[in-house]
Chains A and B, each alone.
Chain A
Amino acid sequence: MAEPVAVQGMAAFVSRVPSLRMGSPARLYRLAGRLVPWFAVAALLLGLLALVIGLVVAPTDAVQGDAYRIVFVHVPAAWMSLLLYLVMGVFAALALALNSRLPAMTMSAIAPTGALFTVVALWSGSLWGKPTWGVWWVWDARLTAELVLLFLYMGFLGLRAAIDDPQRGDRAGAVLTLVGVLNIPLIYFSVRWWNTLHQGAAAGLLSSPGMARTVLTGMLVMALAFCMYAAAVVLARMRCLMLERNCGPAPGSISLELKP
């Protein structure tokens, strides 16, 4: 099968950069094990700080009352759902270019957490829509595209579970992910491209400058906490996947020496 020129070029580039060849799986396994607790602690501390800012420090909104505090979960979760999908897209390109298992395993490690944040974004959006718009759900461009994102995550996970041959599964998952990347700008720019119910960034919420700064800080700290959480969970899941795949008789499984 002929590879596209871009994929060939990427493979040539990656093979020349030592750090992109990702070293040995055993070393990666141990490195991930050392990093997980640090990311977990950072997530916990930043999360607590974000909760204090969002629920205690930030004042009540003059228009929406306290319902607007959903923003501190909703926006960071929505950001994470997009970011994690983009990261999956990068690893999908790497998986196709290198025809190697490690990037494909990284995709499998990211997908469940991406789906989690998408569910949180949709759910918190629905709970925010009811008191402010009067409805739980509308077929607005952004809401619909975010729902499509959830189906993409689910589709990836379903596809991986359905295909037994690991190499074919890796390829199919990577192709599906790359096609789905088109949905990301659609979600991001949907509020600008279409006249929708979902408000644009920061519209209607940041009425006074002092409030704006506190709210923005709270959202950013929570987003950082979610990033740390995602890093910890994805690395922990990587370790599980490495152990599990090594157990089976699957061809191309990674040989791994573990210290007791």
Chain B
Amino acid sequence: MNWPAFFTMDGHGAYVWGSFGLCFALMAAEVLGLRRRARTARLVRTAMKENT
């Protein structure tokens, strides 16, 4: 495989990698955000159960 050609995408690298990049960056952000949200929700729920 020709790596430099792969990265430059015959001059369209910024466009191609910009598209794939934003897509997977947003997906990763969504997954991480949901993990944090689930953890917080579980903590709050446990705390509320202990208080009642």
Contact = CB atoms under 8 A, between A and B. Distances in A.
A120 B15 contact: no
Interface in A123-151: 123-124, 127-128, 130-131
A243 interface: yes
Given A69-B9, A120-B22, 13 more contacts: A51-B20, A67-B12, A70-B15, A74-B19, A116-B26, A119-B22, A120-B23, A120-B26, A123-B19, A128-B19, A131-B15, A229-B27, A233-B31
- The A contact surface, by secondary structure, is helix
A73 B19 contact: yes
A119 B29 CA distance: 14
A258 B20 CA distance: 39
Contacts, number: 80
Interface of B: 1, 6, 9-12, 14-16, 18-20, 22-23, 26-27, 30-31, 34, 37-38, 41-42, 44-45, 48
A218 to B, nearest CB: 12
26 contacts: A51-B20, A55-B6, A56-B1, A65-B9, A67-B15, A70-B15, A70-B16, A73-B20, A74-B19, A113-B30, A116-B30, A119-B22, A123-B19, A124-B22, A127-B14, A127-B15, A127-B16, A128-B15, A233-B31, A236-B34, A237-B37, A240-B34, A240-B37, A244-B44, A246-B45, A247-B41
Interface residues of A, number: 35
